[in-house]
């Protein structure tokens, strides 16, 4: 059976990538998801770009359990970031949706331990990662036929060039912070000193808009994570 664009409908394999012609529910889910249905310049090209990002992230050897299934970590991350962007901005632009889906593209290829294990090394790693992600995403976007104006805009968002003045960069940063709070805080808190976590929470909170802070306060934190956030906000004049 073919979809509205004349392509066979797909199901996802164990890595979460679409496989041709087996699961009819896959296209039905896609047809109901604003990420896919909000207007884009060329639906087939948009799908091909997202497929390219997802196939690359599906190569991540680091796995994470999501809804009982083992999923490549960066593939799960891209989907979570996409979900938050669409929740914060249901009519997100094509460029913002693309930037969300490729934000950490191929991150496992540049491990933290390939840089000095110092603060300076960490900052260099983060800076180089942004360029690495933006460059690789740009290659995929060009391959599927996007013009340079779109490629540049996606790279601009990935590099956070105009944050916080760029409204879309703010949405993307909000989504990044919310993914951290919802999915990464508990694990990080289990292996990191309390003072360091509280400092990280304060930094994230200062970058977030009031709308994102409201979403964060509705997250179902565990007792320890809730306590850490409360401590961070109690000592942060930007907490309200």
Which residues contact residue 99 at a Cβ distance below 8 angstroms, ignoring those fewer than 6 apart?
137, 154, 157, 158, 168, 172
The model's pLDDT over 96-139, given as tens digits with 9 standing for 90+, comes to 999 999 999 999 999 999 999 999 999 999 999 999 999 999 99
The model's pLDDT over 20-29, given as tens digits with 9 standing for 90+, comes to 344 444 445 6
Radius of gyration, CA atoms only, the chain: 18
CA angle 78, 141, 79 (to 5 degrees): 10
Q: What residue spans define the domains of the chain?
A: 1-32, 39-161
The model's pLDDT over 30-74, given as tens digits with 9 standing for 90+, comes to 667 889 888 899 999 999 999 999 999 999 999 999 999 999 999
Nearest to 108 by CA among 82, 144, 72, 66: 72
Tokens (6 digits) for 131: 């360029």
Contact (Cβ atoms closer than 8 angstroms) between residue 205 and residue 181: no
């Amino acid at each position: 059976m073919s979809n509205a664009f004349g392509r066979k409908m797909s199901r996802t394999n164990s890595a979460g990538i679409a496989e041709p012609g087996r699961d009819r529910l896959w296209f039905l889910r896609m047809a109901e998801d604003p990420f896919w249905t909000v207007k884009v310049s060329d639906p087939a090209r948009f799908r091909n770009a997202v497929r390219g990002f997802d196939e690359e992230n599906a190569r991540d050897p680091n796995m994470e359990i999501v809804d009982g299934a083992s999923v490549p970590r960066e593939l799960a991350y891209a989907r979570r970031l996409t979900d938050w962007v669409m929740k914060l901005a249901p009519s997100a632009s094509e460029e913002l949706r693309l930037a969300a889906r490729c934000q950490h593209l191929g991150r496992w290829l540049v491990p933290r331990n390939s840089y000095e294990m110092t603060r300076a090394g960490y900052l260099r790693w983060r800076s180089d990662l942004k360029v690495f992600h933006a460059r690789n995403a740009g290659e995929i976007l060009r391959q599927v036929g996007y013009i340079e104006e779109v490629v540049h805009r996606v790279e601009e968002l990935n590099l956070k060039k105009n944050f916080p003045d760029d409204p879309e960069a703010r949405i993307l940063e909000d989504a990044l912070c919310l993914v951290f709070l919802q999915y990464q805080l508990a694990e990080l808190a289990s292996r990191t000193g309390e003072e360091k976590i509280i400092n990280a929470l304060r930094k994230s909170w200062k970058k977030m808009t009031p709308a994102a802070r409201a979403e964060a306060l509705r997250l179902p934190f565990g007792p320890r994570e809730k306590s850490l956030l409360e401590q961070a906000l109690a000592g942060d004049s930007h907490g309200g």
